[in-house]
Amino acid sequence: MSEKSKSAGGSGGLAGVVVGNTSICTVGKEGHSLLYRGYSVNDLADHAAFEEVAYLLLNGELPSASQLADYQARLKAQRGVPQALKDILEKLPADSHPMDVMRTACSALGCIEPETAENDQAKITDRLLGIFPSVLLYWHHLHQSGKRIDTLAPEDSIAGHFLHLLHGKAPSELQERACDASLTLYAEHGFNASTFASRVAVATLADFYSGITAAIGTLSGPLHGGANEQAMALIERFKDPDDAEAGVMKLLAAKEKIMGFGHRVYKVRDPRSDVIKGWSKKLADSLGDDKLYRISERIEEVMMREKKMFPNLDFFSASAYHQMGIPTGMFTPIFVFSRTAGWASHIVEQRADNKLIRPSAQYVGPEPRAFVTVDQR
C-alpha cells in the first residue's frame, strides 16, 4: 500500500476526502455556507417554493413561472398509489418504523413500475417526489384507524399535500410555508452518507430504485436523518428550560452525545439552522405555546456555552415539525420527501460520467494459514 492510498482513509470514514466531482451544491465553504447550483439555500428557503428548488437541483437552473407551473402540475399528477403497492402497505405491520416502510415501498415500486427506456430516470424522479407522501400516509392511516385514504389532496405543493393527508384537512398557510421551507433546507447536501450510498449503488449500473432504496436505508440511521427524531426525544423529556439546562448538563457530564449539534462539514455554523429556528418560533407564537421552543433555545445556549457547539438543521426541525402536529416517526420520512430531489440529481450526475465505486481496505486479519478438514478439527 502506498503512502498516497494510506492517506485517504484509515478508519477516518473518508472525512474530508474528495471522492468525486459534483456541480450540484457546495457545503460548508468558509465553514458555514450552503449553495444549491450557486444559489444560497437561505434565499431559496425564504423566497422559493420547494418545487422550484427541486427543479433547480435536477435541471441546473431555476424555472420560469410557466415551467414551475408545469412542473408542479406534473408532480401533482403522480400522487396516486397503485393497487399492488397499497396491498403491500397493508401487509407491513402497524408498528413498523416509517422509514422501513418508505424503504420497502420504494423498492416495491421498482418491481411494479420498473425503470425502462420509457419510464426513465426523470419520470421516476417525478413519480417518487409525487408519491412518497401518499405512500407514508396511506400506510399510516390504514394502520392507525383502518381508513383507506384518498391520496389526492388538492394542494399544489408537496408540503401542502403531505400536511393535508396527515391531518385530513387543509393546513394553515403558516404550516404549509414552514413545511415547504424545511423541504428546501433538507433537499441537498453534497456527498452526505445517503447520497454517497445512492452513487455507490448506481455506479454498478444498478437501477434508479436501487439507488434511492439504498439512500433511504442509509438516511434512517441516527447519525444521519434519524437525528431529528433523536433531537425530539431529547427535547420532550424536559418540562421547562431550567429542567432542560439541568438535564443537558447531566448528559454532558456523562459524556453522552446530544443529537442535533455540530456537523462534520460545517465548522462555524449550519446556515440552515437559523431559518428553521425562525419557523419554529413563528409556529410557537401561532400556537400560543412556546414551551418547546424555549426549551430548544435553552439547550442551544447551553451547548454553545459548554461545548462551543452550534445546532444543525435537525435540532430546530424537531420543534418545528412537532408544532405542525407531525408525529416524531415521520420526521425522517419528510427528509426523504425532500432529499429525493438531491439523491436523484446525484444519480443523474453519477450516471453521466460513471465509474464503479470500489475502494480497497487495509487488511489487519490473520496471516495465511493451512486448511484443516472438519474431521481433523
Which of the residues 334 through 353 are near a second copy (CB under 8 A)?
353
Q: How far is the CB of 285 from a second copy (least distance, A)?
A: 26
> Which H or E run contains 137?
helix 121-145
Name the CA radius of gyration of the chain, rounded: 22
Between 39 and 287, whose beta carbon lies closer to a second copy? Answer: 39
Would you say 17 or 122 has its CB closer to a second copy? 17
Beta carbons of 313 and 186 less than 8 angstroms apart: yes
Give the number of other CB atoms < 10 A from CB of residue 27. 20
- x/- contact string, 114-133, with a second copy (CB under 8 A)? x-------------------
Cβ contacts of 116 within 8 Å, gap of 6 or more: none
Calpha distance 369→366 (Å, rounded): 8
Could you say whether residue 262 binds a second copy (CB under 8 A)? no
- In the complex, minimum distance from the CB of residue 52 to a second copy, in angstroms, rounded to a whole number: 6
224 given a catalytic annotation: yes
Bridge-partner residues for 36, per DSSP? Answer: 25, 39
Please, which of residues 41-60 interact with a second copy by CB under 8 A? 43-44, 47-48, 52, 60
Residues contacting residue 245 through CB under 8 Å, at least 6 positions apart: 298, 299, 302
* Site for a second copy, residues 191 to 220, rule: CB under 8 A: 191-194, 196-197, 200-207, 209-211, 213-214, 216-220
Residue 291 corresponds to which cell in the numbers above?
Answer: 414551551
Which residues, 229 to 258, sit near a second copy by CB under 8 A? none
- Choice among 126, 180, 270, 314 that is catalytic: 314
The rounded Cα 365 to chain-centroid distance in angstroms is 36
Q: Which of residues 14-43 bind a second copy (CB under 8 A)?
A: 14-26, 35, 37-40, 43
Nearer to a second copy, 68 or 309 (CB): 68
Residue 311 binds a second copy (CB under 8 A)? no
Q: Give per-residue burial for 170-185: e unless 16+ CB within 10 Å, then b.
A: ebeebbbbbbbbbbbb
Catalytic residue among 156, 167, 224, 274: 224
Nearest-angstrom CA–CA distance, 221 and 225: 6
Of 265-304, binders to a second copy (CB under 8 A) are 265
| Residue 148 in the binding site for a second copy (CB under 8 A) | no
**Catalytically annotated residue among 164, 189, 263, 322:** 263
Scanning the structure block, which residue is given the C-alpha cell 436523518?
225
Between CA 192 and CA 196 the distance in angstroms is: 6
In the complex with a second copy, the residue whose CB is nearer, 47 or 239, is 47
Q: Is position 183 an interface residue for a second copy (rule: CB under 8 A)?
A: no
Angle value at C-alpha 308, between 306 and 311, nearest 5 degrees = 105
Least CB distance from residue 60 to a second copy, whole Å?
8
Q: Residue 45: how many CB atoms within 10 A of its CB?
A: 25
> Contact 160/169 with Cβ under 8 angstroms?
no
Question: How many chain residues interact with a second copy (CB under 8 A)?
Answer: 113
Q: Which of 50, 24, 31 is nearest to 312 (CA)?
A: 31
We find the least distance from the C-beta atom of residue 233 to a second copy, in angstroms, to be 14
Q: 76-95: which residues touch a second copy (CB under 8 A)?
A: 84, 87-88, 91-93
Which segment (148-156, 188-196, 244-252, 333-341) binds a second copy by CB under 8 A? 188-196
Q: Which is nearer to a second copy, 280 or 350 (CB)?
A: 350
Shortest Å distance, C-beta 201 to a second copy: 4
User: Which of 6, 147, 148, 267 is the binder for a second copy (CB under 8 A)?
Assistant: 6
Read out DSSP for 164-187? HHHHTSPPPHHHHHHHHHHHHHHS
Q: Give catalytic status of residue 263 as yes or no.
A: yes
Grid cell for residue 166: 396527515
Catalytic residue list: 224, 263, 314
